[in-house]
């Protein structure tokens, strides 16, 4: 019974970490290298993460710089960034690719805030699925006679408390991200 609770706690902590990582890929008004994590470059016919074809740095708060290891891939890197949903326009000087991260318009901020909210809801669904799995395991233990009905009820209450705590955590992370997006 305790192992089920510990397993649930561990899974939910990983879900929160995954949410935080997911939020690093949603653009705010500042440049960060993680915002390019989901961009895939067609590198010799293989969709490759951009951080595997060059070094990404942030020389200034509103500028990203990509130094490709293979200079022949520069055109593909530029194309991948332009085609992404980030709304960025890279420039190429033959050696490095620079990306000026423009300030977000009010409309784009609202759009990104909605996206952040949607992502939070998806992660809440993950938490609820983890809760359901834990409850199913507990019911199976009760069915097999390993725990009593009272122990089952108590354990399910613990599972619900854990779930509520992590959903609250998701809400806090989501609010912080939305405020970050909406900050001018």
Summarize pLDDT for 12-28 with one digit per residue, the tens: 999 999 998 888 878 77
Tell me, what CATH number does 3's domain have? 1.10.132.20
DSSP secondary structure letter of residue 147: S
Structural element, H or E, at residue 170: helix 149-182
Question: Among the ranges 33-37, 103-107, 110-114, 153-157, which has the highest mean pLDDT value?
Answer: 153-157
Contact 35, 27 (CB under 8 A): yes
Query: Which residue range forms the structural domain that includes residue 163?
Result: 1-26+105-183
Dihedral pair phi/psi, residue 26, rounded to 5°: -90, 125
Per-residue pLDDT tens digits for 27-82: 777 788 888 888 899 988 899 999 899 999 999 888 999 999 988 889 899 999 99
184 has pLDDT over 90: no
Overall domain count for the chain: 2
Query: Could you say which of 83, 100, 117 is where a domain stops?
Result: 100
The pLDDT of 135-151, averaged and rounded, is 91
109 and 22 share one domain: yes
Give dist(CA 8, CA 101) in Å, integer: 39
Give dist(CA 7, CA 83) in Å, integer: 40
Give dist(CA 108, CA 157) in Å, integer: 42
Q: Look at residue 153 in the predicted model and tell me its pLDDT.
A: 93
125 and 158 share one domain: yes
Query: Could you say which of 80, 100, 120 is where a domain stops?
Result: 100
């Amino acid at each position: 019974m305790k192992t089920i609770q510990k397993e649930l706690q561990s899974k939910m902590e990983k879900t929160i970490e995954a949410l935080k990582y997911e939020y690093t890929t949603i653009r705010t008004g500042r440049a960060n290298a993680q915002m390019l994590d989901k961009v895939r470059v067609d590198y010799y016919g293989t969709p490759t993460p951009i951080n595997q074809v060059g070094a990404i740095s942030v020389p200034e708060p509103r500028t990203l710089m990509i130094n490709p290891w293979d200079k022949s891939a520069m055109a593909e890197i530029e194309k991948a960034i332009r085609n992404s949903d980030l709304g960025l326009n890279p420039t190429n000087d033959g050696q490095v690719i620079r990306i000026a991260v423009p300030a977000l318009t009010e409309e784009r901020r609202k759009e990104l805030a909605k996206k952040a909210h949607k992502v939070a809801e998806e992660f809440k669904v993950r938490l609820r699925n983890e809760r359901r799995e834990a409850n199913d395991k507990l019911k199976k233990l009760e069915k097999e006679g390993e725990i009593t009905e009272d122990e089952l009820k108590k354990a399910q209450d613990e599972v619900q408390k854990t779930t509520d705590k992590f959903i609250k955590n998701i809400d806090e992370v989501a609010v912080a991200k939305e405020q970050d997006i909406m900050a001018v």
